[in-house]
Structure 1
Amino acid sequence: MKELYNKMLAFINNVKSKIAFYPTLLALAGFLLSFVMAALEKQDVSKKLIETIPQLVLEDGDTALTVLSACIGGLISVMVFSFSMVMLLLSQASSNFSPRLLPGLISDKTHQVVLGTYLATILYNIFTLFSIEPNDEKYTLPGLSILLGIILTILCLCMFIYFIHNISQSIQINNILDSIYEKSKKRLTILLKQEKEENKTTVESFPSSDKWKEYTTKESGYLQNISYKNIIKIAIEKETRIHITIPKGFFVLQHVPLLKSEKELDEETLHKILSNINFSRGELVEDNYILAFKQITEIAVKAMSPGINDPGTAINAIDYLTELFALRMQKRDCGIFINDEKAVIKNAVIPFEDLLYNSMASLRTYCKHDPIIVQKLIWMLQYLEKIDAYKNAYKKNVTHELENLIKDAVASFDSEEDIKKIKSYID
């Protein structure tokens, strides 16, 4: 049951990131609603509506057909225009900022719900249309169903106005950066909280796994979700320890060692452990905060390319990177999970040193020619140096990157004034 639950959870998380997820659900709801209303019409609910509020009921079948046909045609046009706007948003985000942003934009629930409401209303009106005859009169028309179709159409028009407003906000880089930052901050906050709760006793040591038995996986993809609680239970039952050798978010290749065990595992136990590890072909910030550093760095680098040349966006991206690095410095580099004060699982994590280097390497390469951006990066690193991070373990990494940045910047600048200005920041 646990294996099935984990597979279902992985499937749901993967499907929810698709642009057709909510539209499909809402379209099905609209289809079913038309049959529910048809069943209610057989209970003479429309006659009760006529007796209560006759002004809301159409007089004849021709008028009803005309109104619903106009609603269907108009909504189809609105839906096509809305889909075109979404595609334009994705195209601009990919070309101007970074292709890595597309999964996050596609999984935006607001766009999916709006498009799904259009589709649901269209399907509902079409199937309601089937129950109307041109010669139907007032007392034989499905008055309540027609009224509901008109109300849903008006709702769609209101949602269209909201959709235009929302999509105009979504394309702005400040909102994109803020969305990435908030998702990553939320994920990092959860990890910090778990780290404090699960490591109440300081456990820094874990036995060397160099001589442990290695195991591979037949699947490949990005390492997405790991059910640590279930794996801990399995490890305790088998009286062993597990070392997951690939960090979360990395692409796992087939036949490459994924985990090591202190004791040899049988096929059934290995299958149970692997069933608690999920893979995906895409990446989302909600699942892996490391992706936020990659996306924001790529936005800054793309902004400094000759084709775009937008240093303002690069400065904004560096501001968000500063906040994320400051938060990441509160987290330990070791991913050790304990049970009864005994280290049971060690999960490979991307060290802060590598995370900082990967971002700074790209920024130094593409931004070292711009004095303003270099000054901003120096300010970021100097700010991180002052942070009271986890046992000050990361200060030397920040200082090393600051020295590399100054060295590359001085070598790239032609103006003596720029070189003098940059050196003044470290004197």
Structure 2
Amino acid sequence: MKNLASLDKLFDSIKTSFWFVPLLMVITSIFSAWLMVWIDHAQAWGKLDWLPFLYETEQSTLLSLLNTIAASMITVTSIAFSITIVTLTLASSQFGPRLIRNFMDDRGTQVVLGTFISIFSYCVVLIYSMSLDSNQDIIMGLAIIWCLLATLFSVFVLIYFIHHVSRSIQADNVINELCDEINHSLEPLFCAETTPKLGKEARKTFSYTLPIFADQSGYLQLLSNDKLLEIASKYDLFIEFKWRPGHLINEGAELATLKSLKPIQDELSSLVNQSCVIGSNRTPIQDPEYAIHQMVEIAVRALSPGVNDPYTAITCVDKLCVVLCNISKQELHSGEYYGQDGILRLRRNPYDFEGVANSAFDQIRQYSVSSVAVSIRLVESLYRIASATDKPDIHSVILRQLVAIEQGKEHVQYTEQDSEDFTKSVLKVKNLLKTTSFQS
């Protein structure tokens, strides 16, 4: 049985491709052309008196019109592909090569490319049909009307495409879309935990254990909880998974450990390996830290001497601050999953606030040492996060980041005014931590 993790990976690969949506539209256009020709051939609609020129025009004129439309569509298609490639090149150089995936996931661009190609395909099928001997005496009235309407529609699609591309390469829009992706990837971490229905305590001792080793190297992309719970419940096991999506796994490394009160079958190793997808690159499907790293990459590139764009870096810090404020108010999943019988069946490596916060702030903090504005905004973000929650563990993370920012400032010479502004921001955070009695 194909596991759900592999299906999710396949769906993501299709969703982030430039061929699937255009291919569906081309198939639809070919079917539409066949349908229109069949209707005209059967004369189901008869001659439309209010459009006599379509039924009185010579076949050679209609063929010339279709040839012109087809040539125009293939030309516009090549231009659209060229613009798309230029956009991907700019995105790669300005925001980072990993952001290309987000641009390829843009449904608007996929539909635009599919529109032009499908109209071209429609014209080609119609030209072929009109050239058949059986259709020499048939005027393709409805088919031509549909083609003209589609061509008129393509003009508006081209205008939309130019506007859409212009917006898609703006830094603020890219950051906003990436922030939405981060929030979406974090949603599963906030789901209510599956508590034991029967109130049974987790077993602490087992008679048999079986280590499961990875059968290939790469990044863990997807992990099917449902499949693992099914295996654990069927064979009365407890599965302790040592990795989480985003981690790099070497072939032969211990992937998980199976524990049971009775002997464990060796063939379960292949079943557990099939429940996870290991690939050559990371994806944000079950890996929220990867989406955060994409945001961090934009900020780090903006802070590089070649770009020198602190405003973009500040925007990234603000968005990450909002994300961390939301996380600080939530209870993250413990990584423990129970079967239908209420017994603990699966334990995964869980996410915590410290790991997510370090992923968001560490690299930006390291590269923003010489940028006063970004450093101050980082401190202000820590204040906002500290204000959003009174949890001691989160305040400890905030204090760690604050001390690291202060240590970085010691290696850079600020002006008197800049140093004063920086100190005020730091003291503001420290006073808040003192007030809540969580500062060590």
Corresponding position: 1:218 with 2:219: no
Give distance in 2, aligned partners of 1:122 and 1:153: 10
Change (3 A) 1:62 1:100: same
Structure 2, unmatched stretches of 5+, are: 428-440
Give distance in 1, aligned partners of 2:134 and 2:238: 75
- Give the TM-score taking structure 2 as reference length: 0.87
Listed as ranges, the matches of 1:36-55 within 5 Å are 36-45=35-44, 48-51=46-49, 53-55=51-53
Is the CA contact (8 Å cut-off) linking 1:62 and 1:135 kept in structure 2? Answer: no
- Of 213, 227, 236, 1:230 maps to 227
Secondary structure in 1 matching 2:23: helix
Is the CA contact (8 Å cut-off) linking 2:332 and 2:351 kept in structure 1? Answer: no
CA drift of 1:375 comes to 0.5
Is the CA contact (8 Å cut-off) linking 2:301 and 2:307 kept in structure 1? Answer: yes
Counterpart code for 1:24: L
Counterpart code for 2:42: Q
Deviates more, 1:163-172 or 1:182-191: 182-191
Listed as ranges, the matches of 1:128-143 within 5 Å are 128-133=126-131, 140-143=138-141
Is the CA contact (8 Å cut-off) linking 2:196 and 2:344 kept in structure 1? Answer: no
CA drift of 1:361 comes to 2.5
Match of 2:32 in 1: 33
Change (3 A) 1:68 1:175: same
Listed as ranges, the matches of 1:61-100 within 5 Å are 61-100=59-98
Q: Deviations over 1:235-277 (max 9, x none)?
A: 1222211112111122333222211111364243333333222
Coordinate RMSD, CA, aligned: 2.9
CA drift of 1:121 comes to 1.1
Corresponding position: 1:363 with 2:364: yes
Give distance in 1, aligned partners of 2:146 and 2:160: 21
Give distance in 2, aligned partners of 1:85 and 1:265: 57
Listed as ranges, the matches of 1:42-191 within 5 Å are 42-45=41-44, 48-51=46-49, 53-57=51-55, 59-133=57-131, 140-191=138-189
Give distance in 2, aligned partners of 1:324 and 1:70: 52
Listed as ranges, the matches of 1:285-304 within 5 Å are 285-304=284-303
Give distance in 2, aligned partners of 1:414 and 1:147: 70
Is the CA contact (8 Å cut-off) linking 1:60 and 1:135 kept in structure 2? Answer: no
Corresponding position: 1:198 with 2:197: no
Match of 1:23 in 2: 22
Counterpart code for 2:271: K
Counterpart code for 2:358: Y
Change (3 A) 1:204 1:125: farther
Is the CA contact (8 Å cut-off) linking 1:62 and 1:134 kept in structure 2? Answer: no
Counterpart code for 1:189: E
Is the CA contact (8 Å cut-off) linking 1:180 and 1:285 kept in structure 2? Answer: no
Corresponding position: 1:258 with 2:259: no
Match of 1:395 in 2: 395
Is the CA contact (8 Å cut-off) linking 2:222 and 2:286 kept in structure 1? Answer: yes
Secondary structure in 1 matching 2:215: coil
Change (3 A) 1:138 1:27: closer
Give distance in 2, aligned partners of 1:248 and 1:208: 28
Is the CA contact (8 Å cut-off) linking 1:26 and 1:117 kept in structure 2? Answer: yes
Change (3 A) 1:332 1:203: farther
Secondary structure in 2 matching 1:258: strand
Is the CA contact (8 Å cut-off) linking 1:188 and 1:289 kept in structure 2? Answer: yes
- Give the TM-score taking structure 1 as reference length: 0.89
CA drift of 1:403 comes to 0.9
CA drift of 1:135 comes to 11
Q: Deviations over 1:180-214 (max 9, x none)?
A: 1112212323431x2x15248899989599x9532
Counterpart code for 1:105: F
Match of 2:434 in 1: none
Give distance in 1, aligned partners of 2:389 and 2:422: 25
Q: Deviations over 1:297-332 (max 9, x none)?
A: 111111011111111101111000101112233242
Is the CA contact (8 Å cut-off) linking 1:222 and 1:281 kept in structure 2? Answer: yes
Percent pairwise identity: 22
Corresponding position: 1:374 with 2:375: yes
Give distance in 1, aligned partners of 2:169 and 2:12: 25
Counterpart code for 2:400: H
Change (3 A) 1:243 1:137: closer
Change (3 A) 1:320 1:126: same
CA drift of 1:52 comes to 6.4
Match of 1:243 in 2: 240
Match of 1:318 in 2: 317
Q: How many residues align?
A: 421
Change (3 A) 1:5 1:379: closer
Change (3 A) 1:25 1:156: same
Change (3 A) 1:92 1:213: same
Change (3 A) 1:53 1:7: same
Counterpart code for 2:21: Y
Give distance in 1, aligned partners of 2:200 and 2:388: 23
Q: Deviations over 1:220-241 (max 9, x none)?
A: 4332222212311221222211
Give distance in 2, aligned partners of 1:169 and 1:357: 31
Structure 1, unmatched stretches of 5+, are: none
Is the CA contact (8 Å cut-off) linking 1:58 and 1:138 kept in structure 2? Answer: no
Give distance in 2, aligned partners of 1:164 and 1:219: 44
Secondary structure in 2 matching 1:114: helix
